[in-house]
Chains A and B, each alone.
Chain A
Amino acid sequence: MNQLHFPILSLITFLPLAGAILIAFINEKNENFIRYFTFGILVIDFIISLPLFFAFDPSTYHMQFVERMPWIKSLGFQYYVGVDGISLFLVLLTTFLTPIAQLSTWKAVNKKVKLFNIVILFMQTGMLGVFISLDMFLFYVFWEVQLIPMYLMIGIWGGPNRVFATMKFFLYTFAGSVLMMVAIMALYFLNHHYTGVYTSDMVKLMSTPLPAHIQLWLFLAFFVAFAIKVPMWPFHTWLPWAHVEAPTAGSVLLAGVLLKMGTYGFLRFNLPMFPDMTHAFAVLVIVLAIIGIFYGAFVAMVQPDIKKLVAYSSVSHLGYSMLGMFALTQVGMEGSILQMLNHGISTGALFLAVGIVYERRHTRLISEYGGLASLVPVFATFFMIFTLSSIAVPGTNGFVGEFMILLGAFLSHPVYGIIVAFGGLFSAVYMLTMYKRVVFLKVTNPKNLELEDMSKREWAYMVPLVLFVFWIGLYPNTFLSKMRVSVEHLLKQTNRTVQVSMTSKQIQPVKTVVVKKG
Chain B
Amino acid sequence: MMSVILLFVVLAPLTGFLINGLFGKWTKPYAGVIASLALATSFILGLFPIMSVLNGHIVEYTYYTWLPFKEVSVPFGLRVDALSAVMLFVVTFVSTMIHIYSIGYMHGDKGYSRFFAYLNLFVTSMLLLVLGNSYLLMFVGWEGVGLCSYLLIGFWYEKDTASDAGEKAFVVNRIGDAGFIIGVLFIIYHFGSATYADVFPRAHQVLNTTSATIIGLALFLGAMGKSAQFPLYIWLTDAMEGPTPVSSLIHAATMVTAGVYMVARSNAIYSMAPIAQEVVASIGAFTAFYAATMALTHKDIKRILAYSTLSQLGYMFIGVGVGAYWTGMFHLMTHAFFKGLLFLGAGAIMHSMRGLLSIDLMGGLKKYMPQTAALMIIASLAISGIPPFAGFFSKDAILAHALEFGHPYIWIVGEITAFLTAFYMFRFVFSVFYGEEKVPGLYHELHTHEAPSVMTIPMWVLGIMSIIGGLVGLHIGGVIPFKHLVTQIAPSTPIADKAEYPESLLIGISVTMGLLGIFSAWIIYIKKLITAEKIAKTFKPIYTLLANTYYVDEFVYCCIVKPFWWISTNLLWKIVDVEIIDKGGVDGTGWVAGRIGYLLRFLQTGFINNYAYWISFGIIVLSGWYIVKII
Give chain A's interface residues, CB within 8 Å of chain B.
171-172, 175, 234, 236-238, 295, 298-299, 301-303, 329-331, 334, 371, 373-374, 388, 393-395, 399-400, 403-404, 406-407, 410-411, 414, 417-418, 421-422, 424-425, 428-429, 432-433, 436, 439-442, 474-477, 480-481, 484, 488, 509-510, 512-514, 516-517
**Is B171 close to A, CB under 8 A?**
yes
Instruction: Please determine whether A509 and B157 come into contact, CB atoms closer than 8 angstroms.
Output: no
Instruction: Please determine whether B70 and A442 come into contact, CB atoms closer than 8 angstroms.
Output: no
Contact of B65 among A172, A399, A477, A514 (CB under 8 A): A477
The complex places the Cα of A234 from the Cα of B136 at a distance, in Å, of 34
Whether A237 touches B581, Cβ cut-off 8 Å, given contacts A302-B565, A394-B140, is: yes
**Is B582 close to A, CB under 8 A?**
yes
Q: How large is the interface on B (under 10, 10 to 19, 20 to 34, 35 or more residues)?
A: 35 or more
Whether A421 touches B157, Cβ cut-off 8 Å, given contacts A329-B71, A393-B143, is: no
Query: Nearest chain A CB to B220's CB is how many angstroms away?
Result: 15
**Is B590 close to A, CB under 8 A?**
yes
Instruction: Please determine whether B568 and A298 come into contact, CB atoms closer than 8 angstroms.
Output: yes
Instruction: Please determine whether B143 and A516 come into contact, CB atoms closer than 8 angstroms.
Output: no
Instruction: Please determine whether B71 and A513 come into contact, CB atoms closer than 8 angstroms.
Output: yes
The complex places the Cα of A156 from the Cα of B144 at a distance, in Å, of 44
Instruction: Please determine whether B565 and A440 come into contact, CB atoms closer than 8 angstroms.
Output: no
Residue of B whose beta carbon sits closest to that of A408: B71
Give chain B's interface residues, CB within 8 Å of chain A.
64-72, 136, 139-140, 143-144, 147, 150, 154, 157-158, 160, 163-164, 166-167, 170-171, 174-175, 177-179, 181-182, 185-186, 188-193, 206, 565, 567-569, 572-573, 576-577, 581-582, 585-586, 589-590
Residues of A within 8 A of B68 (CB): 476-477, 480-481
Instruction: Please determine whether A442 and B160 come into contact, CB atoms closer than 8 angstroms.
Output: yes
The complex places the Cα of A295 from the Cα of B164 at a distance, in Å, of 24
Contact of B189 among A295, A400, A481, A509 (CB under 8 A): A509
Instruction: Please determine whether B171 and A432 come into contact, CB atoms closer than 8 angstroms.
Output: yes
Contact of B71 among A236, A407, A433 (CB under 8 A): A407
Instruction: Please determine whether A410 and B185 come into contact, CB atoms closer than 8 angstroms.
Output: yes
Instruction: Please determine whether A406 and B171 come into contact, CB atoms closer than 8 angstroms.
Output: no
Residues of A within 8 A of B577 (CB): 237, 299
Whether A334 touches B181, Cβ cut-off 8 Å, given contacts A393-B147, A424-B174, is: no
Main secondary structure of the interface of A (DSSP, over half): helix
Residues of A within 8 A of B590 (CB): 171
Instruction: Please determine whether A421 and B178 come into contact, CB atoms closer than 8 angstroms.
Output: yes
Query: Nearest chain A CB to B350's CB is how many angstroms away?
Result: 22
Query: Nearest chain B CB to A58's CB is how many angstroms away?
Result: 12
Instruction: Please determine whether A406 and B181 come into contact, CB atoms closer than 8 angstroms.
Output: yes
Whether A474 touches B66, Cβ cut-off 8 Å, given contacts A237-B582, A298-B572, is: yes
Instruction: Please determine whether B171 and A429 come into contact, CB atoms closer than 8 angstroms.
Output: yes
Instruction: Please determine whether B178 and A422 come into contact, CB atoms closer than 8 angstroms.
Output: yes
Residues of B within 8 A of A411 (CB): 71, 189
The complex places the Cα of A422 from the Cα of B177 at a distance, in Å, of 8
Instruction: Please determine whether A441 and B157 come into contact, CB atoms closer than 8 angstroms.
Output: yes
Among B71, B140, B158, B179, chain A packs the most CB atoms within 10 A around the CB of B71
Residue of B whose beta carbon sits closest to that of A400: B67
Query: Nearest chain B CB to A469's CB is how many angstroms away?
Result: 14
The complex places the Cα of A255 from the Cα of B213 at a distance, in Å, of 42
The complex places the Cα of A175 from the Cα of B586 at a distance, in Å, of 11
Instruction: Please determine whether B66 and A516 come into contact, CB atoms closer than 8 angstroms.
Output: no
Contact of A414 among B66, B71, B136, B189 (CB under 8 A): B189
Residues of B within 8 A of A234 (CB): 581, 585
Among B166, B174, B191, B572, chain A packs the most CB atoms within 10 A around the CB of B174
Residues of A within 8 A of B581 (CB): 234, 236-237
The complex places the Cα of A516 from the Cα of B191 at a distance, in Å, of 7
Q: What are 12 of the A-B contact pairs (CB < 8 Å)?
A: A234-B581, A295-B576, A299-B572, A393-B144, A394-B139, A407-B185, A424-B174, A424-B181, A436-B163, A440-B157, A476-B68, A512-B189
The complex places the Cα of A376 from the Cα of B415 at a distance, in Å, of 53
Whether A330 touches B189, Cβ cut-off 8 Å, given contacts A421-B181, A422-B178, A425-B171, is: no
A-B contacts besides A373-B157, A394-B140, 20 pairs, CB < 8 Å: A171-B590, A237-B582, A238-B586, A301-B568, A329-B71, A394-B139, A410-B188, A411-B189, A417-B182, A421-B179, A424-B178, A428-B170, A442-B160, A475-B64, A476-B66, A476-B68, A509-B189, A510-B71, A513-B72, A516-B206
The complex places the Cα of A399 from the Cα of B308 at a distance, in Å, of 34
Query: Nearest chain A CB to B258's CB is how many angstroms away?
Result: 14
Query: Nearest chain A CB to B204's CB is how many angstroms away?
Result: 14
Query: Nearest chain A CB to B39's CB is how many angstroms away?
Result: 20
Query: Nearest chain B CB to A327's CB is how many angstroms away?
Result: 12
Among B70, B166, B567, chain A packs the most CB atoms within 10 A around the CB of B70
Among A371, A373, A514, chain B packs the most CB atoms within 10 A around the CB of A373
Query: Nearest chain A CB to B62's CB is how many angstroms away?
Result: 14
Residues of B within 8 A of A298 (CB): 567-568, 572-573
Query: Nearest chain A CB to B174's CB is how many angstroms away?
Result: 4
Contact of A433 among B69, B167, B189 (CB under 8 A): B167
Residues of B within 8 A of A481 (CB): 68
Residue of A whose beta carbon sits closest to that of B578: A237
Instruction: Please determine whether B170 and A432 come into contact, CB atoms closer than 8 angstroms.
Output: yes
Contact of A407 among B188, B206, B569, B573 (CB under 8 A): B188
Across the A-B interface, the 8 shortest Cβ-Cβ residue pairs: A440-B157, A394-B140, A237-B582, A513-B192, A440-B163, A425-B174, A302-B569, A330-B70
